[in-house]
Structure 1
Amino acid sequence: MNEQIPVKTVTPVKVHKPKGGPEGKRHDSRSRIYVRAVQGPLETFRRMFGLFFLGLFAIIPWIQYNGHQAVLLDIGEQRFTIFSLTLWPQDLTLLAYIFIVSAFALFFVTTFAGRVWCGFMCPQTTWVYIYTWFEEKFEGPRNKRIALDARKMDVDKFLRKTAKHTAWVLVALLTALTFVGYFTPIDALFIDFVTFNTSFWAGLSVIFFAVCTYGNAGYMREIMCTHICPYARFQSAMFDKDTFTVSYDAKRGEQRGPRPRKLSHEQVKEKGLGDCIDCNLCVQVCPTGIDIRNGLQYECINCGACVDACNGVMDKMGYPKGLISFTSEEELAGGKTHVLRPKLIGYFVVLVVMIGLLFANIWMRSPTEVDIIRDRNSLYRETNEGLIENVYTIKVLNKTQQTQSYTIAIKGLPDYKYIGEQKVTVKGGAVYSTPISVATDAYNLEDTVTDIFISVTTTIDGETVTVDEPTKFLYR
């Protein structure tokens, strides 16, 4: 009980904040962040990467396959069509596998390269950059936008703001129409929306998602990343010392401070200055308004904008690049990054296993689903011929996208009499329901409950597919 807890002395971290002007409130979550445009290889890659997936998002719902929309997630009909694959509520396990694969893919990528999902693929980030691009086109670069917002309303300001918000609204509407087009036929949706003939729920969904896009990308922006998105909160649990994150090399950069460009790198070192000239460009280009020089922060989305900004300054000053870079804590400490490590390998192995299980489930998925419902009015009845009769309702679900013919038979019941349709035709992606009666002599029944199978057989692409659905034949 008298043992003392050892106390470890920790060197406090000096937090640098921008001084004066609009920069002074940058760390206030309620203040407006004026993001400065940046050029560089990472920014070019991010734009091309984002445009590629943005193009996929816009084009996919317009693709036609075998006379129908290739990707249609019809919630009303409880049917998801993805090219030749049709998914029903019975295929819910596939959706679970998709979510599990996505989760482990996120864990793997985050452990390896930090929060790059947020910086390069997140829809919020992509749409914020689109809105910022329109903002720059109509209101000018960062310093002009600050001055424009500071002055009173006049004709020029009114026209610029109107043009910007008009562009934002159009982008929001196109985004919402495209998104809703994944859940309802998109060609009819566009026409019906323009002519005010959409259904109530389709129209409401378009307006709702348009408002969300306009608000999130136009006003919420970094607040979505820093205050609402849960990923920012638990991402650190997946980081380790070998995770690649955007980091500032404090050993090389400090002591920071301005200096004439004419001084050589060696002369700067002699004066006791580091490579950081304290230009604050890394802060001005950050979409979440943080100062990466204060160390790793949960608000950082690993977009690399500060890397391009800093490398541009280093080029102009004649200093080596990489003062801010994608690197690991281990490497900053002078060690070597261990790419192949147990944690990363574990995530990769689980990811591969789950992908394998997902494809195995798709491969082994039966193209026919059979559901049997017993008659609830009576367990059995005796016919005029003295036979014992059970009544069932058979539902045949055709999971393919082509019309199929099915043959119904009974297995496990000797010398039975079948009453009802034995051959049915079901359209692609449709459910066919038919009542049948099965009767047999009581002498053929050894027990009050007999296990039987209702067999449904069809031929798909030359291959015979049979589904045997178990049920009970009751007597007494």
Structure 2
Amino acid sequence: MDKMPSSLPSQPESAKPQAAPANEAIHVLNLYQTADKIYTRSLEGFYRSLRRWTWIPMLASYFLIPWLNIDGRQAVWFDLAERKFHIFWLTLWPQDLPFLAALLIISAFGLFTITNLAGRVWCGFSCPQTVWTSIFIAVEEWFEGDRNKRIKLDAQPWSVNKLARKSAVQLCWLLISLATGLTFVGYFNPIRELVPDLLQLTIGGAALFWLLLFTALTWANAGLMREQICLYVCPYARFQSVMFDSDTLIVSYDKARGEQRGSRKINQDPRQLGLGDCVDCTLCVQVCPTGIDIRDGLQYECISCGLCIDACNTVMDKMHYPTGLISFTTENSLEKGTRFRLLRPRLLAYFAVLVLMCSVFVYEIGSRVALEIDVVRDRNMLYRVTEGGFVENSYKLKINNMDQRDHQYSISITSDQELIYRGQSEVGVAEGEAVEMLVRLLLPIDQITETNREVEFVVTATTEPALQNSEISRFIAPLKNRD
């Protein structure tokens, strides 16, 4: 075997491979261990009650809106087959997709604004993952008992009692998931037809596939994965800190007041024991839906639900200590003792841009004309000279009635010369329908002064003159008079 050249410098001791620590293998294994189940404790308090009041309108809207009818159709119906999105009194077509994109952008920017103001309150109070997970946990508590009882039940061997309780939980989860999936599919298929079809087992294959898929996803996300979605799947948890500043309201533990932690009797003065106000009861950890200890500082896993505040305030009341050891506060308030600043440049900039975007969106929606016309010249022939001495141009005129009512439309043209119109002067178009027709324009050949002139087609609803749209095209004539 060839020897290494002597000119190659030897590696320094710090660059040579070092022996792996004895516990390195254990550390690697810990990265892949199965996450322990989180058993949350249920404690009443201000923020738990506030969460319920934020859930009620969201859940009611989600489940009831598909059952509302407007003008004989479903109030909110994303009709993919007809490529129409019915949103209450508004119907959006494929060419209106920029409105939907703008709405999503506005929603995202609104989320950024709220995050800069009060952290992840969306996650803690309104996120569907949080809401459905809490509902599923409530079902567990109903059939299996409080936190300690659930822990004991899971540790017990299987028995008739355990099987009955677990089966009841799974059955309720399945019914909630089925209702959720059925409602979601009902936004794309008329729900008043979908439910009878499902009960009669005549539901279509595509609708059944999506129903089963969303039922399974709801059951898995809210029943099995739960906080794992927030910790590892949701991208918002990863970039939320970019929108924070030192005056953002976040759930925080007052370490200066709480440390050192330790148990004590109610009547004992913690200062004489060398202790802070934290009694180290761990209730703040037990109520946390993501299983973190807020006393370790701000963590991306925190969803700002405020349940740890409720738990801590309950203990503070029992110990006759001031509440607020854990609270919604800011970094500057904890470190510098300053007040919460609502009027600050970054938040004002977010809010100003959000208001501007909403204003432009409302204006564009309000000024949107529910009538689209399209004029296409005959591509096979620029013009035709008739035997009567006229130059003729042919057009295909398409009128798309995007309104939610039938309309009778009148057709006219505007030009700097008296063009002769040949075609239907009025046409009826049903709601959501489009009509195509052939239109001809003629000009006496001896009146030609330009070879290419502008002509405007104007379409107006006869009973609603405000419903009007126009399209500009061209009239082509020969270069010189022809005999």
TM over 0.5: yes
Instruction: Determine the structure 2 residue equivalent to 1:272.
Output: 274
- How far apart are the structure 1 equivalents of 2:159 and 2:382? 82
TM-superposed deviation, 1:384? 4.4
Question: Which of 220, 224, 241 in structure 1 is aligned with 2:229?
Answer: 224
- Percent identity between matched residues is 47
Distance of aligned partners of 1:464 and 1:324 in 2 relative to their CA distance in 1, 3 Å threshold: closer
State the partner residue of 2:148: 143
Q: Would you say the 8 A contact 1:100–1:354 is kept in 2?
A: no
| Cα distance in 2, alignment partners of residues 389 and 204 from structure 1 | 55
Runs (4 or more) in structure 1 with deviation over 6 Å come to none
TM-score, normalised by the number of residues in structure 1? 0.89
Helix, strand or coil at the partner of 1:268: coil
C-alpha contact (below 8 Å) 1:111/1:239 kept by paired residues: yes
Find the counterpart in structure 2 of residue 87 from structure 1. 92
Match of 1:419 in 2: 422
Q: Which residue of 2 aligns with 1:17?
A: none
- Distance in structure 1 (CA, Å) of the matches to 2:310 and 2:463: 56
Specify whether residues 430 and 141 from structure 1 end up closer, same or farther in structure 2 by C-alpha distance, changes over 3 A only. same
1:440-474 CA distance string (max 9 Å, x none): 3333443443221111111455x443322011223
| 8 Å Cα contact 2:143/2:168 also seen in 1 | yes
The AA in structure 1 aligned to 2:69 is Q
- Which among 284, 287, 291 is matched to residue 286 of structure 2? 284
SS at match of 2:237: helix
TM-fit CA distance, 1:183: 1.9
Q: Which residue of 2 aligns with 1:302?
A: 304
Aligned-partner residue type, residue 435 of structure 1: L
2:266 is aligned to: 261
In structure 1, C-alpha distance between the alignment counterparts of 2:440 and 2:462, rounded to whole Å: 25
Q: Distance in 1 between matches of 2:209 and 2:225?
A: 22
State TM-score, norm by structure 2: 0.88
1:215 aligns with 2:220: yes
RMSD: 2.0
Which stretch shifts more, 30-39 or 296-305?
A: 30-39
The answer as to whether partners of 2:369 and 2:468 remain within 8 angstroms in 1 is no
State the Cα deviation string for residues 253-296 of structure 1 (Å, max 9, x = none): 10001122342xxx211111111111111111111111100000
- Post-superposition Cα deviations, 1:199-241, rounded to whole Å, max 9, x if no partner, equal 3322222111111111111111111111111111111111111
Which has the higher mean CA deviation after the structures are superposed, 164-173 or 414-423? 414-423
1:379 alignment partner in structure 2: 382
Q: Indicate conservation of the 8 Å contact 2:408/2:461, yes or no.
A: yes
Please tell me whether the aligned partners of residues 396 and 438 of structure 2 are also in contact (alpha carbons under 8 angstroms).
Answer: yes
C-alpha distance in 2 between matches for 1:395 and 1:441 = 26
**5 Å matches for 1:315-334?**
315-333=317-335, 334=337
Measure, in 1, the Cα distance between the counterparts of 2:85 and 2:448.
43
C-alpha separation between the residues in 2 aligned to 1:30 and 1:421? 72
| Consecutive unaligned residues in structure 1, runs of 5 or more | 1-24
Residues in 2 aligned to 1:41 and 1:271: alpha-carbon distance in whole angstroms: 31
Rg larger for: 2
Map Cα deviations across residues 30-80 of structure 1 (whole Å, 9 max, x no partner).
Answer: 221111112111101101211221111111111112222122122221212
Once the two structures are superposed, residues 8-30 of structure 1 have per-residue CA deviations (whole angstroms, 9 ceiling, x without a partner) of: xxxxxxxxxxxxxxxxx9x9772
Alignment partners' CA distance in 2, 1:85 and 1:357: 17
CA contact (8 A) 1:380 1:475 kept: yes
Q: Find 2:186's aligned residue among 181, 185, 200.
A: 181
- Letter aligned with residue 129 of structure 1: S
Instruction: Give 1:431's aligned residue.
Output: 434
Distance of 1:450 and 1:198 partners within structure 2: 57
**Is the contact between residue 285 and residue 309 of structure 1 (CA under 8 Å) also seen in structure 2?**
yes
Deviation at 1:139, TM superposition (A): 1.6
2:359 to 356, 360, 366: 356
Say how many residue pairs are matched: 448
Q: Is residue 29–residue 223 contact of structure 1 (8 Å, CA) maintained in 2?
A: no
Amino acid at match of 2:438: P
CA 1:298–1:450 in structure 2 vs 1: closer, same or farther (change >3 Å)?
same
- 2:478 is the counterpart of 1:473: no
- More relative contact order in 1 or in 2 (CA 8 Å, sep 6+)? 1
1:102 aligns with one of 104, 107, 118: 107
